[in-house]
Structure 1
Amino acid sequence: MVIAVIGAGMIGAAAARHLAQGGHQVMLIGPPEPQDKAAHPGVFASHYDEGRITRALDPWPFWSRASQASIARYHQIEADSGLRFFHETGTVMAGAEDSPYIRRLCEVRDQDNLPCDMLRGPVLTARFPFFRFDPGTLALHETQGAGHINPRTLVRAQIRIAAQAGARILPDTVLGLDETPTGLRIRTDQGEVLANQALVAAGGFANMILPDPLPLTVYARTVVLLELDPQEAGRLAAMPSLIWLEPDGNDPYLLPPIRYPDGRIYLKMGGDTVDVILRDTQDIRDWFRGGGNVAVGRMLADQVRARMPGLRVATSHVQPCVTTFTPQNIPALERLGPRLSVAVGGCGRGAKCSDELGRLGAELALGRGLPDWAQQAALPS
């Protein structure tokens, strides 16, 4: 039986690895990152970056469970691929101690017995002197298995292991698929391939492929990269990843100094609150080619400076990405028919737990059921 995994991003690459290492015949279909994004006519992905926060703590039990399962496999993926993508710098999640967000976070911590430090007041200030927190803040500092991952390198690692285990890697763009009497005909920009089963893990581009669209909402997102000189990066060497809850319910995030492919060191800030919906594949292409929202980048940079008084920034620029949401706020992990399954919708949380989401998608492609926890919707925000 040939299983086609459509989408060579974070979830699809993980699914291909799990299937190939399980001894199954796998085709992973998806183009690599384009070199010239502004002129690229095809599809894109949001893992074209060097930093994503990882942590087990999450106020929504589904995401905590999926993250714990993925984090537990990080070191083995690194060992099997020879690629390092995980940086255990720790993660801080902070907000008003009496807020529902923080209360739910503490409930998940207690339920799953997740080790973390509870920091308040002068102790919090002393631990992280480069951050400024409001009075009444409670910070949960997770050190074990938390910090940040390199999503580009994680995808490379998954694909390398899948190929070593016998997976066929096709750098094609899938245009659609049709059922045949014996399987599926998958139409790509390079021709047609046949498979017995298909798992679609194409993120915001999934509805371009599926015969019947899923109820996905794709948002345009902007992040800002703040360049640091070597001295400033050294001053912040002990900085963890940070997520904080604003009084208005927004939860911006900040990553510690990371070296990017251009050789420069950046702090990355996200938390775009401008909800621009991308309604079709052409909208998504145009957004990636356009390079992001400069006004949102300025807003995010101002938030960083307010959180980190005295921060010295050399230059800054913005980057575009997208987030794909489902109505349930958990991924669409479903069998759509006897030969077709989907694993899409990271809901802004999928990078850190992509390996487990890929594993669950692989289970579906094999005709197996999912555990109860993976079918329970997250709590409303």
Structure 2
Amino acid sequence: MSAHPSIAVIGRGLIGSAAARHLANSGHDTTLIGPVEPQDKRAHTGVFGSHYDEGRITRKNATDRFWAEASIASIARFPEIEEASGVSFFSPVGALMAGAEAGDFLASARKVAGEFSVLHQDLSRPLLAEAIPDLSLPDGWSALWEPEDSGHISPRRLVAAQTKLAESAGAMALDAVVLGLEETSHGIRVQTGAGHRTYDRVLVAAGGMTDHVLSRSHKYRVCGRTVTLFELSEDESNRLAYLPSLVMGTPEGHYLLPPIRYPDGKHYMKLGGDPDDILLTSPDEIGDWFRSGGRKSVRDDQDARFRALFPGVEVLSVKMDACMTTWTDDLRPEIARLTSRLAVASAGNGAGAKCSDELGRRGAALVAEIELKG
């Protein structure tokens, strides 16, 4: 085998596109395989990805050391990726982690912030009311404010930036759906709708489709999620431009994105957090879920919660959308070698977007069996 084996990365999402960039930059013959975003999700009958979105929360701090370390490494490379690609995807508006003052959520966040020296400020409810007058948190809550190198990213633009840089470094991006893998003595044969090719090694980074691509029994819990989008006028959006992203220590794991302009030209705030899991066990179920647009009962609950959090915000309209998260039993991504030629880097556990460049780098280093600098 040559010093630079041919490597296919299956999955053109956040982790896969990052892995392709790191591999191509290290001189590997890299092919990034996966379908592009469909024009009309409701009519689409092919594969779906959870990165078809304009807003995901990004912050250094977390309630868990692993995710803080991975996000710190990723965020540190955002300026380099934006400058080299010419694609802007990071909005550093700051982030809040809010919860019950005496609860485990804030206690864990404070501990991790101290361990990693994350710049932050404790804000009591009176200080929060002064700093963010539009936000009304429950009684007994306070928050950790992270003012620097945090906010939100556009997942689809980050994928575009990573893919552009991978291609600039010599990678090939193939718009195709992988139909099967076959490992032989010569490599791994990858079958797509466009034909087949054998690669020396393969890294699978297909998110909720990973178990299906690997033809293995269910290792992940793939869950359908509903998000609610609150349309604002341009004036109201501009008035609320000071808002940070918000993560809440609720049982449902609620989170909120500040006003963002979406591809339809309108401004939305987005609220997520589901009371239970909708398990998706097959590609057909995943497709049906995305085409459904989400659950109305969850939308109604999120609508009520938004009105309580932001009682003075003028909302023009409310709509919902479907999303998907992929979970492992240990709440860590699966970055592992399955055979001498096959590796996997997948499962964001609800935190993969902000950490995706680092998770992709680790997957690339594993499949290529080389050291890749952060």
TM-score (norm 1): 0.94
Which whole-Å deviations, capped at 9, do the CAs of 1:130-184 have from their partners, x for residues lacking one?
Answer: 0112233221000111000000000000000000000011101001100111101
The answer to whether the 8 Å contact 2:253/2:274 transfers is no
> Structure 1 residues 287, 161: CA separation in 2 closer, same or farther (over 3 Å shift)?
same
Partner letter of residue 10 of structure 1? L
The answer to whether the 8 Å contact 2:189/2:199 transfers is yes
- Of 133-142 and 103-112, the range deviating more from structure 2: 133-142
Among 114, 121, 133, the residue aligned to 2:137: 133
- Looking at structure 2, the residues matched to 2 and 322 of structure 1 have their Cα atoms a distance apart, in angstroms, of 31
- Looking at structure 1, the residues matched to 41 and 105 of structure 2 have their Cα atoms a distance apart, in angstroms, of 37
Residue in structure 2 matched with residue 241 of structure 1 by the alignment: 245
Q: In angstroms, what is the RMSD of aligned CA positions?
A: 1.4
Among 180, 183, 200, the residue aligned to 1:196: 200
Which whole-Å deviations, capped at 9, do the CAs of 1:195-240 have from their partners, x for residues lacking one?
Answer: 0000000011111211433510000001011000122112211011
Partner letter of residue 130 of structure 2? A
Partner letter of residue 266 of structure 1? Y
Deviation at 1:188, TM superposition (A): 0.6
Deviation at 1:368, TM superposition (A): 5.0
Deviation at 1:244, TM superposition (A): 1.5
- Looking at structure 1, the residues matched to 306 and 156 of structure 2 have their Cα atoms a distance apart, in angstroms, of 24
| Correspondences of 1:111-190 after superposition (within 5 Å) | 111-190=115-194
Residue in structure 2 matched with residue 377 of structure 1 by the alignment: none
| Correspondences of 1:173-322 after superposition (within 5 Å) | 173-213=177-217, 215-246=219-250, 249-322=251-324
- Looking at structure 2, the residues matched to 310 and 104 of structure 1 have their Cα atoms a distance apart, in angstroms, of 31
The answer to whether the 8 Å contact 1:176/1:208 transfers is no
The answer to whether the 8 Å contact 1:185/1:193 transfers is yes
The answer to whether the 8 Å contact 1:85/1:154 transfers is yes
Among 331, 334, 339, the residue aligned to 1:332: 334
The answer to whether the 8 Å contact 1:50/1:260 transfers is yes
TM-score (norm 2): 0.96
The answer to whether the 8 Å contact 1:90/1:141 transfers is yes
Deviation at 1:294, TM superposition (A): 2.0
- Looking at structure 2, the residues matched to 231 and 179 of structure 1 have their Cα atoms a distance apart, in angstroms, of 57
Residue in structure 2 matched with residue 17 of structure 1 by the alignment: 21
Structure 2 gap segments, 5+ residues each: none
- Looking at structure 1, the residues matched to 257 and 125 of structure 2 have their Cα atoms a distance apart, in angstroms, of 22
Which whole-Å deviations, capped at 9, do the CAs of 1:101-149 have from their partners, x for residues lacking one?
Answer: 1111111011111101111032121011001122332210001110000
Partner letter of residue 357 of structure 2? D
Deviation at 1:369, TM superposition (A): 8.4
Among 74, 79, 86, the residue aligned to 1:70: 74
Among 345, 351, 360, the residue aligned to 1:358: 360
Number of residue equivalences: 369
Deviation at 1:272, TM superposition (A): 1.7
The ranges of structure 1 where at least 4 consecutive aligned residues each deviate by more than 6 angstroms after the TM superposition are none
Percent of paired sites with the same residue? 47
Deviation at 1:370, TM superposition (A): 11
- Of 175-184 and 2-11, the range deviating more from structure 2: 175-184
